[in-house]
Amino acid sequence: MATVKSYLSLIKFSHTIFAMPFALIGFALALSTRYQWSLNTTTIGWHTTIFDWSTILKKFILVILCMVFARSAAMAFNRYLDRQFDAKNPRTAIREIPKGIISANSALMFTIVCCVLFVVCCYFLNTAVLLLSPIALFVILFYSYTKRFTALCHLVLGLGLALAPIGAYLAVTAKFDLLPILFSFTVLFWVSGFDIIYSLQDEEFDKSQQLHSIPAAVGKEKALRISEVLHLLSAACVVAAGMIGMFSWLYWVGVLIFGGMLIYQHSIVKPNDLRRVNIAFMTANGIASVVFAVFVIADLFMNH
């Protein structure tokens, strides 16, 4: 019988570390944009006639739940749809569905439940995110089909995770704005780039199964060059956001660390040496997102 631990493994819950920090950036940016933070001799706090800390907490919890349910649905559906390929690939044959730990039908039911809970959470946030929730679900679920017909599947994955900052911003403000969109483009290029690095491991398998990916289409060396270009675009987006948002030195320290982690992961992965792909994928990108978010949010609270 499948356990909670099995389902957490199925959806790679630890990988939430990639997009969640950017959702928190979007949430904090929305608060700093809509509600004036002030510090003086008589009062410290968010000042508005229509907002209170209980509302902030409610929205914060709902944003976190939206992230968890959306990502869980996407991952479970991906495992469900790819179960036959996973069983054939030595690298993925140990996953829960091929090993029989979780049945395919259970994974599909888990996906449906997570989708419903995601929409329910959107309902309690505001009308804007509720109306956009079907589009968000389409993007994150459609990704699982893309490897069957396009090498641009990495960009679709990036787009799915890129919904995090703008989605969190919409949850508070119910409107679009330039800065959260720039952070979404940051995530789009960043995730697409590191997904290409991760997919280097399956180049030969993808070719044998007529599956599409950048490495399968152009080879490892050119794929790494494309990944580098995408990461340069991601870095350009965080720089542009910093300039447009007039952030302080705290933000730019975060940018340096984020950029440093991008450079580091490209320095340890070579076309003929993939031994440290998992370090580049999990460790470097986990540090990049968490540390960057800490500095951005600190800047927003201290200087905006």
CA 162/CA 25 separation, integer angstroms: 12
Describe the chain by its helix, strand, coil percentages, rounded to 5.
80, 5, 20
The string of pLDDT tens digits covering residues 162-207 is 999 999 999 999 999 999 999 999 999 999 999 999 999 999 999 9
Structural domain count of the chain: 1
Question: Is the pLDDT reported for residue 37 higher than 50?
Answer: no
Question: Residue 40, class by beta-carbon neighbours within 10 Å (0-12 exposed, 13-18 middle, 19+ buried)?
Answer: exposed
- The answer to whether 289 and 251 have CB atoms below 8 angstroms apart is no
pLDDT of residue 277: 87
**Could you list the residue range(s) of the whole structural domain that residue 176 is in?**
4-303
Report the CATH number that the domain containing residue 124 is assigned in CATH. 1.10.357.140
pLDDT of residue 51: 52
The string of pLDDT tens digits covering residues 8-26 is 888 887 777 788 999 999 9
